[in-house]
Structure 1
Amino acid sequence: MKLISWNVNGIRACVNKGFLDYFHKVNAEIFCLQETKCQPEQIQLQLDGYVQYWNSAEKKGYSGTAIFSKVKPLSVQFGLGDDFKENEGRVITLEFDSFYLVNVYTPNSKRDLSRLDYRLEWEERIRTYLMELDTIKPVVLCGDLNVAHHEIDLKNHKSNQKNSGFTPEERAKMSTLLQSGFVDSFRYLHPNKEDCYTWWSYMNKVRERNIGWRIDYFIVSDRLKGSIKEAEIHSEVLGSDHCPVEIELTI
């Protein structure tokens, strides 16, 4: 089973930059989006053979997630449950026969770290949620998790030590998640591969120079790691400041 995850930084803009060409070419069973920045009624995507699920933010033109799946799920949940309300459309969970798929767009701590406390609270809640699901079925978590975990995961780690997305607190939360029974699929297959990034600033042609961050992930329950056939980054695909990431599982 092939799965794709992509922060499209506005699906309507991405469609105008070749999204559908890539979508049809890659032919994934499941395609997850983050930062859709639209309400479902604002775009009509004709995706034959796929069921579509959208979780949009109350604020128009902001955040949002979507999943397009060839396989109809057993159940669908939006958000993280009644005990953690959020109105930014950041989570969709699909239940399949043998696993849960959780598509996430993690809140950014902001440049001045004014949202760091909320971000850390979010991290605790999402970890608890994933662990609860994992007691029932294995979990596949994907999305823009807005953190570069290790120094190898961004180009200029020395100058970003206390910046949003690479703070000690955010990195520690990622470590805690992985220590709770989950595996970073890309690093599982490519533990020492350098210069592999999924996001680049639009400034100063940094993408052309590959000055980036790896902040988009497929993370799976530990007992699924033997099912990881491929975990790839499609940095050649344009249309957003992020690129798609892929996982292929023998599920």
Structure 2
Amino acid sequence: MTELEILSWNVNGLRAILKKGFVDFMQEKNPDILCLQETRASEEQLPPEIMTSWGYHVYFASGEKKGYSGVAILSKVKPLSVARGFGIPEFDREGRVLIADYGAFVLLNIYFPNGKASPERLAYKMRFYNAFLEYADRLKAQGRKIVVCGDVNTAHKEIDIARPRENSKISGFLPVERAWMDKLIAHGYVDTFRLFNDQPGQYTFWDTVTRARERNVGWRIDYFFVSENLKEQLKAAFIMTEIMGSDHCPIGIRLDA
């Protein structure tokens, strides 16, 4: 087995973060696999030398709407296959899902929807949650080992949000969303960070308008989950709060695979 470091980061615009230290981040951290969310760019919109000079295989899923959503995987190890989406048009057209099969495990890089805009978007988010869980459960039923990472857009428990009471009626911390997170864990997926850290004040997203990061008034809405059958191979899980450039910070795991 070799140890892999997998990082995940909602970059809030890949073209924007290229101007905010992303190149330095890549050269310093040099992860085996990097999963990005909210890229808001297609592959042809990026300087080609940026992606090719680091020696990564690069995969994109972009939404039909320009400058919206989007995910990417940069991987030193070439996956056996990469799929874009669950095969469900209402979700796939937003470019939120990349599924990379590495043989030893299947990696799902997902930018889950935000439900704040309207009741319709909250309903869409919950349908997406359920479609994802059905897809992951089918893989698990085949005996596959699963890694899920990305911006889940929900803080699971009160420990995962700086101001739980004030946000209890806001999408991202609604009872229905949190209950779905309970369901995810009940289905045999492990919140990797909480295996290693049970402390409060551990967040991955901060509102930029209110300069919340300076006061650490944040939300932990970015996660790595692994299926129970992969838990013993998990060596570390961490949040990289020192990395700037987005309203989210990167998170990561180290895994024997």
Instruction: Name 1:90's counterpart in structure 2.
Output: 96
| Distance (Å, rounded) in 2 between the aligned partners of 1:131 and 1:43 | 35
Residues 148-199 of structure 1: per-residue CA shift (max 9 Å, x gap): 0000000000111110100011111111011101100001221x21100000
Per the normalisation by structure 2, the TM-score is 0.94
Write the mapping of 1:29-48 to structure 2, written as runs, cut at 5 A: 29-44=32-47, 45-47=50-52, 48=54
For residues 113 and 200 of structure 1, do their structure 2 counterparts lie closer, same or farther at Cα, with a shift above 3 Å needed? farther
Is the Cα–Cα contact under 8 Å of residues 149 and 171 in structure 1 kept in the other structure? yes
Superposition deviation, residue 228 in structure 1: 1.5
Superposition deviation, residue 135 in structure 1: 2.4
Superposition deviation, residue 112 in structure 1: 4.2
Instruction: Name 2:137's counterpart in structure 1.
Output: 131
Instruction: Name 1:197's counterpart in structure 2.
Output: 203
Instruction: Name 1:220's counterpart in structure 2.
Output: 226
Uncovered stretches (5+) of structure 1, i.e. residues with no partner: none
Superposition deviation, residue 215 in structure 1: 0.3
* Equivalent of residue 176 in structure 1, options 171, 183, 187: 183
Is 1:152 matched with 2:159? yes
Is the Cα–Cα contact under 8 Å of residues 111 and 163 in structure 1 kept in the other structure? no
| Distance (Å, rounded) in 2 between the aligned partners of 1:58 and 1:112 | 20
Q: What residue identity is the alignment partner of 1:227?
A: Q
Per the normalisation by structure 1, the TM-score is 0.96
Is the Cα–Cα contact under 8 Å of residues 198 and 243 in structure 1 kept in the other structure? yes
| Distance (Å, rounded) in 2 between the aligned partners of 1:85 and 1:161 | 27
| Distance (Å, rounded) in 2 between the aligned partners of 1:84 and 1:14 | 28
Is the Cα–Cα contact under 8 Å of residues 51 and 58 in structure 2 kept in the other structure? no
| Distance (Å, rounded) in 2 between the aligned partners of 1:206 and 1:97 | 41
Identity percentage of aligned residues? 46
| Distance (Å, rounded) in 2 between the aligned partners of 1:210 and 1:40 | 34
Instruction: Name 1:187's counterpart in structure 2.
Output: 194
Deviating beyond 2 angstroms after TM superposition, the runs of 4 or more aligned structure 1 residues are: 44-48, 82-86, 111-114
| Distance (Å, rounded) in 2 between the aligned partners of 1:49 and 1:118 | 37
Is the Cα–Cα contact under 8 Å of residues 113 and 164 in structure 1 kept in the other structure? no
| Distance (Å, rounded) in 1 between the aligned partners of 2:39 and 2:91 | 20
Q: What residue identity is the alignment partner of 1:40?
A: E
| Distance (Å, rounded) in 2 between the aligned partners of 1:160 and 1:85 | 27
| Distance (Å, rounded) in 1 between the aligned partners of 2:209 and 2:94 | 27
| Distance (Å, rounded) in 2 between the aligned partners of 1:81 and 1:178 | 24
Q: Secondary structure at the match of 1:115?
A: helix
Superposition deviation, residue 210 in structure 1: 0.3
Q: Secondary structure at the match of 2:246?
A: coil
| Distance (Å, rounded) in 2 between the aligned partners of 1:235 and 1:205 | 15
For residues 81 and 114 of structure 1, do their structure 2 counterparts lie closer, same or farther at Cα, with a shift above 3 Å needed? closer
Residues 90-130 of structure 1: per-residue CA shift (max 9 Å, x gap): 00000012100000000000244441111111111000001
* Equivalent of residue 164 in structure 1, options 166, 171, 176: 171
> How large is the RMSD of aligned CA atoms in angstroms?
1.2
Superposition deviation, residue 6 in structure 1: 0.1
Q: Secondary structure at the match of 1:109?
A: coil
Superposition deviation, residue 226 in structure 1: 1.5
Is the Cα–Cα contact under 8 Å of residues 91 and 128 in structure 2 kept in the other structure? no
Q: What residue identity is the alignment partner of 2:51?
A: Q
Superposition deviation, residue 133 in structure 1: 1.3
* Equivalent of residue 17 in structure 2, options 14, 19, 26: 14
For residues 82 and 207 of structure 1, do their structure 2 counterparts lie closer, same or farther at Cα, with a shift above 3 Å needed? closer
Is the Cα–Cα contact under 8 Å of residues 163 and 217 in structure 2 kept in the other structure? yes
Give the count of matched residue pairs: 250
